[in-house]
Amino acid sequence: MPDGPTVRRRRLGAELRRLREAHSLKLDEVASELDLVASTLSRIETGKAPIKTYYLNRLLDMFEVTDPAARQVLIDMGREGHRKGWWAEYGDVLPSGFDIYVGLEAEAQGLRSFEATLVHGLLQTVDYATAVLRELHPKDSEEQVQKLVGLRMQRQRTLEGPPSIEFWLILDEAALRRRVGGVAIMRHQLEHLVEASRWPNVTLQVLGFDSGAHAGMDGAFSILEFPERTDHDVAFIDGGFFGMVYLEKDREVRLFTEAFDRLRAAALSPAASIELIETVADGLS
């Protein structure tokens, strides 16, 4: 799978940050030299925004990158970073900042997620997703809601591949028992979870109520892993009304990795998890 624009921006940003630090320059010093605000340069260095070729050339001059081949590689990366991903067609309905997550998810090799209150978007049925999104976006028109549903269904293609993402999901039992959309929709959703659990690239566990206090009590989170070792893992938290958080520093990501491992140990085995899902589905009436 060719690298997408999000990965290209992250790699270029990481290299520009490395070059800046190698020259002992502070972010605000470089931003001032470029007549940019520091927050804009920070977004470029973290791969959250593309960079214009004009500014990139000025940075390469400032960082004394004189080798023509090395410069061209970085310039090409900058141009690739301006490419639009397939999710650009949903730009009019995408929540602010979520385009970054969609781009990372589309290019990730592995995804580990904990969901506390609802089924993860990658395993939602159309009807379940529609019920969720109507409630989360009450002021949106039906057309806008259906476009968001379409985005969610398009994201699910990352599970199909090739290559397909390796997805490990831990669901709190509350997500199974909350009757989103009514009995029929919820039963179909639970049946879909059972089916998805049989896919070779999906591991599904349920964190039962009996587990008591657990490492995910602060809320849902995801950890995205990438095929290239130079592309750092990303921890993602969707804060809802409070915005989205992306963490890339090793020590920050490690906190979520350790929390996920503890959740995995506390959760039911995959086989026992499916038994519980089937029991909940059978009890719907």
pLDDT (tens digit, 9 = 90+) per residue, 201-229?
999 999 999 999 999 999 999 999 998 87
CATH 1.10.260.40 residue window(s) in the chain: 5-80
- Architecture per CATH, domain 5-80, reads as Orthogonal Bundle (1.10)
Nearest to 14 by CA among 97, 61, 81: 81
pLDDT confidence of residue 3: 62
pLDDT band at 267 (very low <50, low <70, confident <90, very high): very high
CB hemisphere CA count around 34 (13 angstroms): 27
Contact between 122 and 160 under an 8 Å Cβ cutoff? The reply is no
pLDDT, mean of residues 117-126: 98
- Which is more confident, 197 or 248? 197
CB atoms near residue 165 (< 10 Å): 21
Q: What is the mean pLDDT of residues 12-37?
A: 93
Note the CATH architecture for domain 91-282.
Answer: 2-Layer Sandwich (3.30)
pLDDT of residue 82: 86
pLDDT tens track for 52-86? 999 999 999 999 999 989 899 899 889 888 888 88
What stretch(es) of the chain map to CATH 3.30.870? 91-282
Instruction: Taking residues 253-276, report their average pLDDT.
Output: 98
For every residue of 109-138, DSSP letters joined together read SEEEEEESSS--GGG--HHHHHHHHHHH-T
